[in-house]
């Protein structure tokens, strides 16, 4: 798992490895991270809509993910960051 921005600061590392079950979904992994690290990890999921908040960017193997029910494999690469702003 690749971490950028606030997430890297919270964990203190650029990369972490999380073992997952064969039935794990993106929601399961994000919930696990929220419990383990707190902070901004708790805000990734929009609790009202049960989707990834638009304030955060989560990708699975380079594809942006919003669907929490995506099934994951141990070799999947997740990246968590905040969208770049500009103006």
**Domains with residue ranges and CATH for the chain:** 2-81 (3.10.20.30)
> pTM for this structure?
0.87
b/e 34-65 (16+ beta carbons within 10 angstroms → b): beebeebbeebbeeeeeebeeebbbebeeeeb
Q: What percent of the chain has pLDDT over 90?
A: 63
- Evaluate whether 33 touches 58 at the Cβ level (below 8 Å): no
**Percent helix, strand and coil across the chain, each rounded to 5?**
25, 20, 50
Which pLDDT band, with edges at 50, 70 and 90, does 81 fall under? very high
Side-chain-side CA neighbours of 23 within 13 Å: the count stands at 0
């Amino acid at each position: 798992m690749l971490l950028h921005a606030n997430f890297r600061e919270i964990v203190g590392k650029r990369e972490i490895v999380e073992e997952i079950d064969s039935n794990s979904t993106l929601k399961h992994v994000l919930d696990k991270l929220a419990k383990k690290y707190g902070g901004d990890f708790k805000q990734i999921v929009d609790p009202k809509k049960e989707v990834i908040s638009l304030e955060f960017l989560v990708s699975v193997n380079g594809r942006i993910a919003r669907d929490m029910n995506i099934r994951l494999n141990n070799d999947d690469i997740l990246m968590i960051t905040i969208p770049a702003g500009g103006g």
